[in-house]
Structure 1
Amino acid sequence: MVKLIALYKHPDNRESFDEHYQKVHTPLTEKMPGLKKMEVTRIQGAPMGGKGAYYLEAAMYFDDRAALDAAMNSPEGKAASKDLMGFAGSLVTMMIGEVEREA
């Protein structure tokens, strides 16, 4: 299994970010073909205190890299990517990871 990970820095306007993320971006992402599971985590802070560098983390799970690539190249994946760059392009860092162990 592989996952597409999105780490978001703190937005200037949390309310506006959250509203767009929940009402527009998440529904677009959920339409991506082959998506097995999506987790969204609101970061609560760093272990040693403080707010930490990130506001939100999202992980989208796919069977394998081919399924992820197909999803990203689909019309739904392109729509989600275009939306992401429009509302959070300067805030987001994207990574791909291979899940090695699940508890």
Structure 2
Amino acid sequence: MTVKLLAMYRRPDDVDAFLTHYRDVHVPLIEAVPGLAKLVVNRVDGDLMGGPAPYFLIAELHFADETIFEAAMASPENRSAGKDVMTFAKGLVTMLKVHED
């Protein structure tokens, strides 16, 4: 069963600075996390129910199973990515653990 970490980001004040840091610094840190099977980064286009979208960017980190996910979360590489996210997205990010049915 695939396990995912969803990182959902609200719109930052400086979109360009956020995206530059995300792409140039944060993504390479995420890609170094052991056991990561796939990274999907989604830009939110809008809320189909009307009104403003609650999120600006949603990242999906895919892991093959629970054991691999837990090992990845405990890794030094993931700790580095976690420290980094607090430097550019503190107060903007919500993280969820989900699985595919």
Question: Under TM normalisation by the shorter chain, which class is it?
Answer: over 0.9
- Paired with 1:14 and 1:31, the residues of 2 have a C-alpha distance of 24
Give TM-score, length-normalised by structure 2.
0.94
Residue 64 of structure 1 and its aligned partner are, at CA, apart by 1.2
- Further displaced range: 84-93 or 10-19: 84-93
The residue aligned with 2:85 is 84
Provide the rounded CA distance (Å) in 1 between the counterparts of 2:77 and 2:55. Answer: 26
Q: Write the distance in 1 (CA, Å) between the matches of 2:69 and 2:49.
A: 35
Using the TM superposition, give the Cα deviation of residue 54 of structure 1 relative to its aligned residue in structure 2, in angstroms.
0.5
Give percent identity, aligned residues only: 46
**5+ unaligned residues in a row in structure 1: which ranges?**
none
- Where do residues 55-66 of structure 1 align in structure 2 (5 Å cutoff)? 55-66=56-67
Counterpart CA distance in 1 for 2:88 and 2:49 is 31
What does residue range 70-81 of structure 1 map to in structure 2 within 5 Å? 70-81=71-82
Unpaired segments ≥5 residues, structure 2: none
Q: Give CA-to-partner distance per residue, 1:8-36, whole Å, 9 cap, x none.
A: 00100000000000000000000000000
In structure 1, what is the Cα distance between the partners aligned to 2:14 and 2:52?
16
